[in-house]
Amino acid sequence: MNEKITVYQETEAKGTLPEFLNEEAGKRVWDFHRSLKEYEATPLVTLDAMAKDLGVGAIYLKDESKRFGLNAFKALGASYAIHTLLSREVSGCPKEEVQAGTVNPAFPGGKGKTFVTATDGNHGKGVAWSAWKAGGRAFVFMPKGSRQCRVDAIAAIGETKVTVTDWNYDDTVRHAYTFARENGYAFIQDTGFEGYTEIPNLIAQGYLTMIQEALVQIQESGRKEPTHVFLQAGVGTMAGAVLGYLANLYHGKPPVTAIIEADESACVLTSAKAGDRTAIGGNPQTVMAGLNCGEVNLCIWPILRDFASFYISCPDWVTEQGMRALAHPEGDDEAVVSGESGAVGTGLLLSLCKESEYEKSRKAMGLDENARILIFSTEGNTDPEHYAEVTG
């Protein structure tokens, strides 16, 4: 196992803007999320003491553990995709049913419907939650080695059946796809592949609420917009959605963006180096369960290729360092509960700024006193036992 952080820089290619992730799409998605009764913007935490210690201008951390009470950002995507799918099939809800509370207007016509997905945890929870809110049920498939606490958290939602397979994440996705097709169920997957792109694109749009909230929160606090964005990637949908939105917003010149992965499953980094979408097979092991994916989303890959500047892979100790730093912050900084897939950006920033062996990378990235870094803590303690072990 590689114990070092790998930083790869590639600033050359610039492609066409992903229109489906523009401001108009963002507004539409945010309006939908605001219509949900569980909606509340998640906190944006400013880590001033840490920024001072690291010699950077500012650190903005979006705390997605507070999203819909689900401990991760993922339901933003699943809810928007299921809402859009159902709204297309049904034009409006019978008023009497809405008034009687037997139908959720955000998810019309979902009663009795079946949704299927594969997940390493958080996305499946988002699908189960949205299916339950719609009055439907969910079949959720999880890869071999999934932690029991994550299985249980999904199975506890509404009418949901969880199956742990004998395969890695990508093969589990293929299995779920076949299962859904054979049974005529709706397949709600957060990654795109040949012949399956529409739903993952809706899911990517769903994530836009997160970046829009962050930008408004930064502005409302009287602070300056970020110069750098750190985005962790599994299949890359979240990273590509945020980056695609920023690329549109800044007319092709988004802030300096780093795509961060678990080193054993660094499919974006491998693809960037190869200049083409490249899969990683086998059974990669990492505590960053949400990032343990070996194939980049087909529709998202061009965005990551064209608009990101740095592709970085991290061993597990990096995120564990981030989890501890956020749990026990310095000075007056607020503590944040950040899980394995959530804390890697913070852990990376600490190493880049503090360890002499990464000085060259820090300089190349421009992480100095003028840098204002936006980081997404995408989950809370989704594995409470491991979280407690790591953070003490």
Ligand X SMILES: Cc1ncc(COP(=O)(O)O)c(C=O)c1O
When asked if residue 122 is in the footprint of ligand X (CB under 6 A), the reply is: yes
Q: Minimal CB distance to ligand X: which residue?
A: 290
The closest alpha carbon to 308, from 358, 261, 265, 356, belongs to 261
Judge whether 146 and 219 are in contact, CB under 8 Å.
no
| 72 belongs to the binding site for ligand X (CB under 6 A) | yes
Of the residues 84, 189, 270, 341, which one makes contact with ligand X according to CB under 6 A: 341
- Of 244, 242, 238, 241, the closest CA to residue 261 belongs to 238
Catalytic residues: 74, 120
Q: Please pick, from the candidates 290, 294, 322, 347, the single residue that binds ligand X as defined by CB under 6 A.
A: 290
CA neighbor of 206 nearest in space, from 251, 245, 248: 245
Among 51, 233, 266, 337, which residue sits at the site for ligand X (rule: CB under 6 A)?
233
Out of 235, 266, 349, 373, which residue is the one contacting ligand X (CB under 6 A)? Answer: 235
Q: Closest CB to ligand X among 57 and 206?
A: 206
Interface residue with ligand X among 160, 361, 378, 391 (CB under 6 A) is 378
Closest CA to 67 of 385, 336, 378, 382: 378
- For ligand X, the closer of residues 120 and 333 by Cβ is 120
- In terms of Cβ atoms closer than 10 Å to its own Cβ (0-12, 13-18, 19+), residue 282 is exposed
Measured CA to CA, the distance from residue 345 to residue 361 in angstroms comes to: 15
234 in contact with ligand X (CB under 6 A): yes
Q: How far is the CB of 98 from ligand X (least distance, A)?
A: 32
Answer yes or no whether residue 123 interacts with ligand X by CB under 6 A.
Answer: yes
Residue 271, classified by CB atoms within 10 Å of its CB into exposed (0-12), middle (13-18) or buried (19+), is buried
In DSSP terms, 7 is beta-bridged to: 312
Nearer to ligand X by C-beta: 18 or 108? 18
Rounded least distance, CB 234 to ligand X, Å: 3
Site residues, ligand X (CB under 6 A): 72, 74, 120-123, 190, 232-239, 290-291, 293, 341-342, 378-379
